[in-house]
Amino acid sequence: MLELKDLVFSVNIKDEKNNDQKIDIIKGINFKFEKGKFYAITGPNGSGKTTLAKLIMGINRQTGGNIFFEDKDITELSITERAKLGISYSFQHPARFKGITFRDLLAISSQTDDEEKLLSIVRRMGICPLSFLDKPVDATLSGGEIKKIELATTIARNPKLAIYDEPDTGIDLWTIMPMVTLLKKEQKDKDTTTIVVSHNKSFFEVADTILILNGGNIVYKGNLEKALPILADFRICNFRPCKKGEKDARCYR
Amino acid sequence: MLDATDKNLLKTVADLEDLPQGAYNIRKDGKLLSRSTTANIDIEASEKQDGITVTIAPGTVNEAVHIPVILGKAGLHDVVYNKFIIGENSDVTIIAGCGIHCGGPEPEGHEGIHEFIVKKGAKIKYIEKHYAGGQGSGKRTLNPTTKVFLEENSKVEMELTQIGGVDEANRVNEAVLAAGSSLLVTERVMTDGNQKAVSRNKIILGGENSRSNMVSRSVIKGKSQQDFYATIVAKAKSFGHIECDAIIMDNGTNKTIPALRAEHPDAELSHEASIGKIAGDQLMKLMSMGMTYDEAVNIIIQGFLR
């Protein structure tokens, strides 16, 4: 349902001599996401996970390659157009507004302002108290509260493809499992293709496929069992002695 | 008595479909159009100068006074002095507002000088909306001055809004707070084109445990200009906060100068100010929920000015 073909994302930065230097963040990714499956994307910091997720939503614009959604080439489509096709995105660091409440966002997201319908959405989420509805989505919210609201506004769109960028950041221990269950239930009940970017094993355990990114490439795709040794390897920085001794030791990972 | 233009202006500045219930004073083109008083709220013409004195009897609760001003006469510059005496322990809402309809090339303007004496324990909510419309090219000026004297333990909440169409506005707000009193001012101004708006605010925290919060929200479109000055002076153990945010949409300019002055060691004063474009992450979030760029901008601005 979603296909990435030779997807590349590079940025230009200035080096010490003020020359333009091209850095590839995503280095030609090819992958097919199947309808109704649950994918967990993980990998070390800086491996390109968020960049990849943003490329799918159109927040970042690819510098090469193509993206197909339900066999339609969406490479040149805007965020708005992709959203209207059924792609929904949950930000790692959700925006904070002034004067806009959870009710406002939920009404935009679900395209209804009917009180009963909004309340039923919040109930369906199970993770946001009903009292959240009139909370302003501003700087007064805690990190966990705003993530719950972000998740709710993503799910409320009933998307065909839902992308969650680190949904568990700032979430308390007692909410992580209900959150995993919720995403899994949405996937099962609504056949939502689900992509979760995370470091949390709870998401890996319910995923159909784990993708490990490193250095802008997919270095592993498959089940959790075989992913574990690779993930364990990332946990430590492996300093290996080079020919010239410890002085030039580099971190290989 | 009210023509279509009048009704339109009244709807915009005072949310009135027709003549209101209860006490009101409607002024049109510099003259009294209609007035009504109640057992607890008296309105009479000032003796010394053009304007009215509104006297609210002590203990009056759950009543409202409407005092809108509408202007539709070319070349008129209306100046009015209004005084409000709010009786002890009363709790009332005062809805003011000025609407200008400019149909020709001559300038039109209104200067409303409002003085409030809020007696002990009284509570008021003052809502003021300014709007100018019409096809004419004449310059529309609105220069409101508001002076508030809060006696012990009184509470004042003021919502001052300039919705649009005003070419030039010079606003002055001054307040003096006695012990235990509190003041919340929320000012919202939107300018466009070559409009200019200046707001000068001075709040004196004179009594122990007085508190004040001044919130300013500015949206600056086109090549318009807004300047905001706010000073809080604390003369006693008191609390004061200034929060001013401006969103610049096109090529507008903004100057924001919050100032705090503590003349007492136990004063607690703070301010926060920010000027910037609409935040990219807010736009992205709304667009990822299916809104277009323009729809997203509208929602953000509406919320910001809410």
The string of pLDDT tens digits covering residues B250-293 is 999 999 999 999 999 999 999 999 999 999 999 999 999 999 99
Among candidates A80, A93, A100 on the partner chain, residue whose Cβ is nearest the Cβ of B290? A80
Q: What is the residue range of A83's domain?
A: 2-252
Q: What per-residue confidence (pLDDT) applies to B160?
A: 92
State CA B230 to chain mean position distance.
15
On whether the CB atoms of residues B163 and B190 are closer than 8 A, the answer is yes
On whether the CB atoms of residues B70 and B101 are closer than 8 A, the answer is yes
On whether the CB atoms of residues A11 and A25 are closer than 8 A, the answer is yes
Range 212-271 of B in CB contact (< 8 A) with A:
217, 245
**Helix A102-110 vs helix B293-304: angle between axes, to the nearest 10 degrees?**
160
Could you tell me if B298 lies within 8 Å of chain A, comparing CB atoms? no
The total number of structural domains that make up chain A? 1
Q: How far apart are CA B29 and CA B210, in angstroms?
A: 39
Mean pLDDT in residue range A114-125: 86
SS3 content of chain A, % helix, strand, coil (to 5): 35, 30, 30
Amino acid present at B128: E
Q: How far apart are CA B163 and CA B192, in angstroms?
A: 10
Q: How far apart are CA A103 and CA A85, in angstroms?
A: 23
Tell me which residue of A95, A171, A94, A155 sits closest to A123, measured CA to CA. Answer: A155
How do residues A173-202 score in pLDDT, each as one tens digit? 888 999 999 999 999 999 999 999 999 999
Question: Of B97-111, B121-135, B197-211, B270-284, where does mean pLDDT reach its minimum?
Answer: B97-111
* Better-scored residue on pLDDT, B73 or B265: B265
3-state secondary structure of B75: coil
Mean pLDDT in residue range B46-68: 89
A100 to B292: CB separation less than 8 angstroms, yes or no: no
B284 to A104: CB separation less than 8 angstroms, yes or no: no
Instruction: Report the CATH number that the domain containing residue A10 is assigned in CATH.
Output: 3.40.50.300
Among candidates A80, A99, A104 on the partner chain, residue whose Cβ is nearest the Cβ of B287? A80
Question: Of A44-53, A183-192, B126-135, where does mean pLDDT reach its minimum?
Answer: B126-135
3-state secondary structure of A141: coil
Q: What per-residue confidence (pLDDT) applies to A253?
A: 44
How do residues B218-255 score in pLDDT, each as one tens digit? 999 999 999 999 999 999 999 999 999 999 999 999 99
Amino acid present at A85: L
In this prediction the ipTM stands at 0.89
Q: What is the DSSP letter of A17?
A: T
Contacts of B290 in chain A (CB under 8 A): 80, 83-84, 108, 111, 157
A108 to B291: CB separation less than 8 angstroms, yes or no: yes
Measuring CA to CA, how many Å separate A37 from each of A152, A161, A162, A216, B243?
20, 10, 11, 23, 48
Mean pLDDT in residue range B150-173: 92
On whether the CB atoms of residues B267 and B205 are closer than 8 A, the answer is yes
Measuring CA to CA, how many Å separate B239 from each of A133, A201, A240, B174?
31, 48, 60, 17
Q: What are the residues whose beta carbons fall under 8 Å from the beta carbon of A129, sequence distance 6 or more?
A: none
Best A80, A104, A138, A146 member to test B by mutation, with max B CBs in 10 Å, is A80
Could you tell me if A128 lies within 8 Å of chain B, comparing CB atoms? no
A83 to B290: CB separation less than 8 angstroms, yes or no: yes
Contacts of A100 in chain B (CB under 8 A): 299-300, 303
